[in-house]
Amino acid sequence: MPAKSKSQADAIAGLPARRSPILRLASTLVKSPVGLAGSVIVSAVVLLALFGPLISPQDAAARNLRARFQAPGHVDAAGSYYSLGSDQLGRDILSRIIAGSRVSVLVGVVSVLLSGAIGVLYGLISGFIGGALDAALMRIVDGLLAIPFIILVIAISGVVGAGLGTLVLILGGTGWVTYARVIRGEVLKARELDYVLAAYALGQRRPQVMLKHILPNVISSAIVLAAVQVGVTILAESSLSFLGLGVKPPTVTWGLMLSDGRQYINSAWWMTAFPGMAITITVLGVVFLGDWLRDVLDPQVRGRG
Amino acid sequence: MRGFFISRLAQLVVTMFIVSLAVFLIVRLSGDPILVLAPDFFSQEQIEEMRRFWGFDRPLAEQYVTFITRAITGDFGTSYLAKRPAMELIIERLGYTWMLAAAAAAIGVTIAIPLGVLSALKRNSLIDLVITLLSSLGTAMPSFWLGLMLIIIFSVHLRMLPAFGALEPKAIIMPAATLGVGMAARLSRMTRSAMLEVLSQDYVRTAHSKGLKQNIVVLRHALRNALIPIVTVFGLQLGWLLGGSVVVESVFSWPGLGRLMIDSINVRDNTVVQAGLFWFALTFILINYAIDVLYILLDPRIKFE
C-alpha cells in the first residue's frame, strides 16, 4: 500500500507519523470544550431529526381537545404526560419540538450545501479569471449584499410563495453571495503563491491549476463560513415560518410553533418559551462548532449576521 | 482625499444601480403580476386594460428603464392597494425604523464596548468566559423570540410596558432592547478580539512603561486604535439590525418600514415591496459610506490614493 510506505519513509526521515485529517480534527476536538459542546449539541439535534419518531413521547400531530393549553407537567386522564405542556389543539409541545428538528436540520444542511457550492464556484471563477469579469461579478455581489439577507429572503419568498422545497431553494439561492466575496479574496491571495506559479511552470493548464491547486487552498475558509451560515439559515427559516412566509402547516417547524405561541401569548407562555429555546440551543451548538473550526482551520473570515 | 470620497460615491451609485435591477427582478419572479392583482371576476379585456394601465404590457427592459428613471426623481410608482405614491408610504414609516435602529444601535454599543474591553483585559478569567458565553447566546437567539419573551415578562406578567404599537414613548423600549441585545452580542465579540490585538502592541507596552495609569492606556492608547475594526463590524452588522427590525417590528406592531414591507408582501402590493427593498439597501449603503468617512476621523494615518 502506498500510504504505508509513505509513512515508513517519513519515519526514516525523522518526520512525525502522518495521521488522517479526520483523526487530527478529532484529537483537537477532544481538547476544546467549546468544540466538544458544539459537536454534542449538533449531533444530538441531528439524531433527533433522524430518529425523532422512535423516541417521541407522543404523536406530534395527535390532537387531544381535552388537554388543550395544559401547563408543563400535565398528565391527562389517559395517563399521557405533557412534560413541556400542550398547545391550542392539545398537542404535546415536546413531541412537536422533536418533530420540528427535522426541518431545521434539513433546511440548514441542504441550503448551505447549495449556497456553498454556488458561492465557491462563483468566487473561484471571479478571482481566478480576474479583470473585467471579476469587476462585473463583484459589483453584482456588492449589490446583493446591500440588501440585508433576511429582507431579501422575505421579499423573494413573499413573491414566489412558501413551502419547504421553495424555501430551501430560496435560502440556498441567496446565501451564496457571502461565500463568493470571501472565496474570491482568498483566491486572489492564493493565486500569487509560489506553488501555484510552480504549477504553471510545470506546464499545467489553467482550469487544472484552479481546481487542483487553488480550490483546496481556499476550501477551509468555505468550511468555516458554512458553519456560520448553517446558524444564519436556521434562524432565517424560523423567522420566515414565524411570519407565515416559510414552511406551511401541517409540517411542524419551530418557527410555526412560535407563531402559534404568539397567538396565545397572554395565557400559554410555554408555547413560546420552549420552541425558542430549541432554536437557541441548536444555533448555539452550530456557533460553538463554527468557533472551534475557525480556531483549528484559522482562516480570517466572517459571515454576515 | 477628496478623490477618495468621490470614487466611493461613484461606487455607491453603481451598487445602487445593481440593487435597483435586483429589486426590479425580484418582484417579477412570480410571473405575471396582473394575474395576482386582478379580481377573479375580471374579464379578459379588463385584465388587458389593467395590464396597460400599470404598464405591464411593455417589454421588461422598457419597464425597467421607466422604473429607474422615475426612481431617480423619487417616484417609486403607486401602491396598488393604498392608491397613493409608494414613496409617501415609505416616508411615513422610514422615521420609525430609523428611530428604532438608532436606539437599538445605541443600546448595543453601550453594552458591547465596556463588556468587550473588560473581557479582553481579563482574558481567560471567569468573567471573560461568562461574557463570551453570553455573547454566543445572544448571537444564537432568534431576536423575535427574545421579543416575545420580553412581552411575556414585561407586558403579560408585570404589566409595565405596552406589548405593541408606538403610541407612547416607552413603547420603543422593548423592540429597541430586543434588537440591541443581538447587536451587543455581535459587537462585543469583535471588541474583545480587536482589543486583544491592540493590547499586545508595542505602543501599549511603552505607554505602560512610561508609568501612565491603566485607564489612560486602555482608553487613549488601546481602545481608540481598536475602534477601527469595531466600527467596520458595526457597519456590517447594521445589515443584521435592519433585517432583524423587519421581524421585530412585526412582533411589536411597530409602524416602521419593516412592517410596511410584511403587510405589502402579504397583499402582494409589489410597488411598495420594491420601494421598501430599495430604501433598506440605500440606508445600509449610506451608513457604510458614512463609516468610511468616519475612518479618516478616527485614524489620520489612513491615506487614500
Classified as helix, coil or strand, B135 is helix
- Distance, in angstroms, between B65 CA and closest chain A CA? 18
Q: Tell if the CB–CB gap between B280 and A288 is shorter than 8 Å.
A: no
Q: Which of A66-70, B89-93, B264-268 has the lowest mean pLDDT?
A: A66-70
pLDDT at A5: 52
Q: Does residue B182 fall inside a structural domain?
A: yes
The model's pLDDT over A167-177, given as tens digits with 9 standing for 90+, comes to 999 999 999 99
Structural domain range at position A213:
30-304
Beta pairing class for A81-82 and A74-75 = antiparallel
Q: Does residue B246 fall inside a structural domain?
A: yes
Q: Does residue B194 fall inside a structural domain?
A: yes
The model's pLDDT over A76-97, given as tens digits with 9 standing for 90+, comes to 777 778 878 888 888 888 989 9
Q: First CA to last CA across chain A, in angstroms? A: 47
Task: Search chain A and give the residue with CA nearest B135.
Answer: A284
For residue B287, what are the CA distances in angstroms to A267, B12, B184?
Answer: 41, 11, 18
pLDDT at A298: 65
Best mutation site among A154, A258, A301 for testing chain B: the one with the most B CBs within 10 Å?
A154
Q: Between B34 and A259, name the one with better pLDDT.
A: A259
Q: Tell if the CB–CB gap between A146 and B186 is shorter than 8 Å.
A: no
Q: Among residues 79-118 of chain A, which lie with CB inside 8 Å of chain B?
A: none
The whole-number average pLDDT for the span B199-204 is 82
Closest to A214 measured CA to CA, from A184, A242, A235, A240: A184
Nearest to B280 among A148, A281, A288 (CB): A148
CB A112 within 8 A of CB A96: no
DSSP symbols for A20-81: -HHHHHHHHHHH-HHHHHHHHHHHHHHHHHHHHHHH-SS-TT---GGGTTPPTTEE-TT--E
pLDDT at A301: 44
Task: Search chain B and give the residue with CA nearest A280.
Answer: B141
pLDDT at B89: 92
Q: Does residue B199 fall inside a structural domain?
A: yes
Structural domain range at position B106:
94-267
CB B280 within 8 A of CB A152: no
Predicted confidence (pLDDT) at residue A113 exceeds the cutoff of 90: yes
The whole-number average pLDDT for the span B163-192 is 89
pLDDT at A3: 46
% of chain A exceeding 70 in pLDDT: 91
CB B175 within 8 A of CB B99: no
- The C-alpha atoms of residue A74 and residue A261 are separated, in whole angstroms, by 18
CB–CB contacts below 8 A, A to B: 158
Closest to A68 measured CA to CA, from A96, A93, A89: A89
pLDDT at A258: 94
Q: Between B202 and B304, name the one with better pLDDT.
A: B202
Q: Does residue B218 fall inside a structural domain?
A: yes
CB B27 within 8 A of CB B270: yes
DSSP symbols for A128-147: HH-HHHHHHHHHHHHHHHHS
pLDDT at A303: 42
Q: Tell if the CB–CB gap between B266 and A235 is shorter than 8 Å.
A: no
Q: Tell if the CB–CB gap between A273 and B140 is shorter than 8 Å.
A: no
Q: Tell if the CB–CB gap between B141 and A160 is shorter than 8 Å.
A: no
Q: Does residue A186 fall inside a structural domain?
A: yes
Predicted confidence (pLDDT) at residue A1 exceeds the cutoff of 70: no
Query: Grid coordinates in use for A1?
Result: 500500500
Q: Tell if the CB–CB gap between B145 and A147 is shorter than 8 Å.
A: no
Total domains, chain A: 1
pLDDT at A204: 86
Q: Between A111 and B161, name the one with better pLDDT.
A: A111
Q: Which of A111-120, B1-10, B286-295 has the lowest mean pLDDT?
A: B1-10
Q: Does residue B162 fall inside a structural domain?
A: yes
Q: Does residue B145 fall inside a structural domain?
A: yes
Predicted confidence (pLDDT) at residue A14 exceeds the cutoff of 90: no
Closest to A184 measured CA to CA, from A147, A224, A153, A215: A215
Mean pLDDT rounded to a whole number for chain B: 86
The whole-number average pLDDT for the span A278-292 is 93
Find the DSSP H helices in chain B.
2-26, 33-37, 44-54, 60-72, 86-121, 126-140, 143-150, 173-199, 202-209, 214-216, 224-252, 257-266, 270-298
Predicted confidence (pLDDT) at residue A302 exceeds the cutoff of 70: no
Q: Tell if the CB–CB gap between A265 and B156 is shorter than 8 Å.
A: yes
The model's pLDDT over B242-300, given as tens digits with 9 standing for 90+, comes to 999 999 999 999 999 999 999 998 888 888 998 999 999 998 888 888 888 777 776 66
Predicted confidence (pLDDT) at residue A156 exceeds the cutoff of 60: yes
CATH number at residue B247: 1.10.3720.10
pLDDT at A2: 46
Report chain B residues whose CB lies below 8 A from the CB of A244: 266
CB B184 within 8 A of CB B112: yes
- The C-alpha atoms of residue A80 and residue A75 are separated, in whole angstroms, by 6
- The C-alpha atoms of residue A283 and residue A255 are separated, in whole angstroms, by 13
pLDDT at A10: 53
Nearest to A243 among B152, B239, B250 (CB): B250
Burial readout B78-94 (b: 16 or more C-beta within 10 A, e: otherwise): bbbeeeebbbebbeebb
- Distance, in angstroms, between A167 CA and closest chain B CA? 14
pLDDT band at B301 (very low <50, low <70, confident <90, very high): low
Cell 427574545 found at: B146
Q: Does residue A156 fall inside a structural domain?
A: yes
pLDDT at A17: 55
pLDDT at A8: 55
Q: Which of A30-34, A47-51, B152-156 has the lowest mean pLDDT?
A: A30-34
Cell 482550469 found at: A207
Best mutation site among A107, A170, A239, A245 for testing chain B: the one with the most B CBs within 10 Å?
A239
By the CB < 8 Å criterion, does A147 face chain B? yes
Predicted confidence (pLDDT) at residue B234 exceeds the cutoff of 80: yes
pLDDT at B300: 66
pLDDT at A203: 86
Q: Tell if the CB–CB gap between A146 and B27 is shorter than 8 Å.
A: no
CATH number at residue A174: 1.10.3720.10
Q: Among residues 150-209 of chain A, which lie with CB inside 8 Å of chain B?
A: 150-152, 154-156, 158-161
Q: Which of A8-22, A83-97, A236-250 has the highest mean pLDDT?
A: A236-250
Nearest to A304 among B145, B240, B247 (CB): B240
Q: Does residue A4 fall inside a structural domain?
A: no
Predicted confidence (pLDDT) at residue A274 exceeds the cutoff of 90: yes
Q: Among residues 273-292 of chain A, which lie with CB inside 8 Å of chain B?
A: 273, 275-276, 279-281, 283-284, 286-288, 291
- Distance, in angstroms, between B30 CA and closest chain A CA? 5
% of chain B exceeding 90 in pLDDT: 35
Mean pLDDT rounded to a whole number for chain A: 85
pLDDT band at B31 (very low <50, low <70, confident <90, very high): low
Total domains, chain B: 1
Report chain A residues whose CB lies below 8 A from the CB of B23: 147
Report chain B residues whose CB lies below 8 A from the CB of A281: 140
Angle at A29 between CA A26 and CA A34, to 5 degrees: 160
Q: Between B220 and A245, name the one with better pLDDT.
A: A245
Predicted confidence (pLDDT) at residue A52 exceeds the cutoff of 90: no
The whole-number average pLDDT for the span A26-42 is 86
pLDDT band at B302 (very low <50, low <70, confident <90, very high): low
Q: Does residue A25 fall inside a structural domain?
A: no
pLDDT at A206: 85
Q: Does residue A115 fall inside a structural domain?
A: yes
Best mutation site among B23, B145, B274 for testing chain A: the one with the most A CBs within 10 Å?
B145
The model's pLDDT over B162-173, given as tens digits with 9 standing for 90+, comes to 878 777 888 899
The whole-number average pLDDT for the span B55-59 is 78
Predicted confidence (pLDDT) at residue A12 exceeds the cutoff of 70: no
pLDDT at A304: 40
pLDDT at A41: 95
pLDDT at A284: 95
- The C-alpha atoms of residue A94 and residue B56 are separated, in whole angstroms, by 50
Closest to A231 measured CA to CA, from A105, A118, A116, A141: A105
Q: Among residues 249-268 of chain A, which lie with CB inside 8 Å of chain B?
A: 258, 261-262, 265-266
Q: Does residue B66 fall inside a structural domain?
A: no
% of chain B exceeding 70 in pLDDT: 95
CB A210 within 8 A of CB A124: yes
